[in-house]
Structure 1
């Protein structure tokens, strides 16, 4: 627990998400916050909101802006806005209405449920190909060998990225993910900005080619997406494609990695899913709740507001603890217990309100296929370590590696 002793001997709570213990196990800290100070002003000058009902209220309140919650270290480069800031300023994630409303409406015309479902059979093939490569080895790292390459392959296929370009795309997506990672040292700014520039230049050429020769892919669909006379600008097209990689990869990697760790630590629940593969949809929802890939949403108050009896003044930053809300006993009975049959699981793993994750359907499909395939094809899966290392990222919760054994196929 993060505490500090005052001069009179009284021990007070100090929330610091940058400490290693937070990344290892944030849940005791969340419990303390919800119980003792659910609307907490941290020593970092950030309001911390931890209860489910308060987080939902905040996610739906237009006075809490996404547009002003960017990571500042990329904000200047030789006196002009950096590529990352230029990217963020056009991004759906970091826009408020009416701009957000317009962008989401246009993107949804191309990135819809029908398109996601049409990817299902291809995702099954991708998963089987990845498992074919490791099945004879008897051991694997679920992150490096499986959960990280899967979304890169899926999103590449969805966008229509040529096979020959996908290895380079993997490198770009690695750097783009740092946009959401304030834990990295500031000297990573150059590498991230360079990746943004290179990926942007690549997409400019690919989009130009698709304008001339449309294909049955998402880039072509985004080009053609219209709402009456409105359509995505060139910059908005670029940003939509780039951020689809950065966010879509991280969400799926961590859904699969965190989900498999949770199952392997709860063998009775794992056996229940092995015996009943049709439970997978409900299981994935519970795994998303139990170890949410996205733990914290950042917002900025653009007007003063009251939440949970406290006033948040205009201009102050706010952290919404999705991971804590998803363990709130007022919403989820016995919240620290993994229960794959949990009913009415209205978790916040994909957010809520106008910024609810546009790609949640694709992440769910990949998670369902990947987890079911892993436990059915490799039924003897066992953890190689009881203490896998968590990545140092205050917003995203995911593993550095997840080594497992499963016995060689005879």
Structure 2
């Protein structure tokens, strides 16, 4: 029998081993769900001493955090200058203007001005055009004639990149460089810590993106053109308008959100189906299941795994005392596998009833791009199954990206056979 002191030491060691910092390990990143399950069952509101943050993993606790805690978590540029790292200030100057990091009333104002561009009725008008883009990409894969593809590079990445460029109202041929900048900027959104060796790349991406969208705003003033940039420039409510800096910042976060999460939805979803051959056959036999299947794929292998909030005051959650201004990391992917909310959560159930997942967040910060992401996912899977009904995983190792919060594959090598 251990002494109380020994028992305390063992307990401390056991709970410290639960750290989300383990996501830095490629093996854990390849399958983070056992780690999430341990956190959810052993210490669902867990103080992570390595990240200096509370980790929340149960569905209802995640909903509480996303509903009631503060999203205003980005330090000001002056904060980084005071720390002696002024080189980070240009990134902070962009992020502090993004609705992702705002609470009401600032968040409500930005959402009210930007939201109409992504209303479901407006997005539905794009359905046929997105199908045309998907078919063109699949035509290029088929035309090569070698019976294989890297689905990420040739389909999952360019489809949302082209759609997003068109939504923004910028030249479609720019989608390649916009994607490159997006991937780099997303490192700031998805990782706990940032490699100093890569900070220069992030800074350059921010500079390129800011300059790109500033130029686009100036161009739209001379030559108006339909698209999100024009919509944000024209948006007004109660006499209020967005500043140019706000338009730039929110074009960046909208673009990054649209490109990274939708790319990962397609890649992660395709992998999940290929690993569950019976479900792939079920979907192939009845493509009317695709809308429900997309919701289940979002739950099962969430493109956005986690997000951070700040305690608005002293809060008791799950029996733990969280102090005002302490950081809380809500792990949506863990909540999406909570057996108290979803029966048989480790099973892929394409027509799962009441699949109210957390992949798009919750409450005021629910992703306003969700209608477009859902539509792109539905079109992507419908087009793939129609054109290549015999997709198979190639015999190559899978490598997951190093972005811990935005879960996705580097490559997804497949063999394929054309449809009739």
Look up the match of 2:42: 36
Residues 1:16 and 2:19 are matched in the alignment: yes
Unpaired runs of 5+ residues, structure 2, are 1-5
Look up the match of 2:73: 68
- C-alpha distance in 1, partners of 2:175/2:404? 29
Look up the match of 1:395: 405
Query: Shift in Å at residue 8 of structure 1?
Result: 6.7
Instruction: Specify which of 247, 258, 276 is matched with residue 237 of structure 1.
Output: 247
Residues 1:377 and 2:387 are matched in the alignment: yes
Q: TM-score, normalised by structure 2?
A: 0.90
Quick check: 140-149 or 41-50, which moved more? 41-50
- C-alpha distance in 2, partners of 1:383/1:71? 45
Q: TM-score, normalised by structure 1?
A: 0.92
- C-alpha distance in 2, partners of 1:282/1:126? 23
Give the alignment's Cα RMSD to 1 decimal.
2.2
Query: Shift in Å at residue 7 of structure 1?
Result: 8.8
Look up the match of 1:140: 149
Matches within 5 A, 1:117-266: 117-135=124-142, 136-182=145-191, 184-266=194-276
- The one-character-per-residue Cα deviations of 1:297-339 (angstroms, maximum 9, x if unpaired) are 1112231111122110112111101011000011100110000
Quick check: 333-342 or 194-203, which moved more? 194-203
Look up the match of 2:33: 27
Contact 1:69 1:300 in 2 (8 A): no
Contact 1:55 1:320 in 2 (8 A): yes
Q: 1:75 to 1:152 in 2, by over 3 A?
A: farther
SS of the counterpart of 1:318?
strand
Q: 1:23 to 1:164 in 2, by over 3 A?
A: closer
Query: Shift in Å at residue 80 of structure 1?
Result: 6.9
Contact 1:23 1:393 in 2 (8 A): no
Look up the match of 2:305: 295
Residues 1:95 and 2:102 are matched in the alignment: yes
SS of the counterpart of 2:199?
helix
Residues 1:55 and 2:58 are matched in the alignment: no
Query: Shift in Å at residue 344 of structure 1?
Result: 0.6
Q: 1:269 to 1:166 in 2, by over 3 A?
A: closer
Contact 1:46 1:317 in 2 (8 A): yes
Q: 1:273 to 1:124 in 2, by over 3 A?
A: same
- C-alpha distance in 2, partners of 1:334/1:303? 36
- C-alpha distance in 2, partners of 1:227/1:277? 41
SS of the counterpart of 2:310?
strand
Unpaired runs of 5+ residues, structure 1, are none
- The one-character-per-residue Cα deviations of 1:138-158 (angstroms, maximum 9, x if unpaired) are 100111111011111010011
- C-alpha distance in 1, partners of 2:76/2:280? 39
More helix, by proportion = 2
- C-alpha distance in 2, partners of 1:163/1:31? 42
Contact 2:158 2:175 in 1 (8 A): no
Count residues with an aligned counterpart: 403
Look up the match of 1:368: 378
Contact 2:387 2:419 in 1 (8 A): no
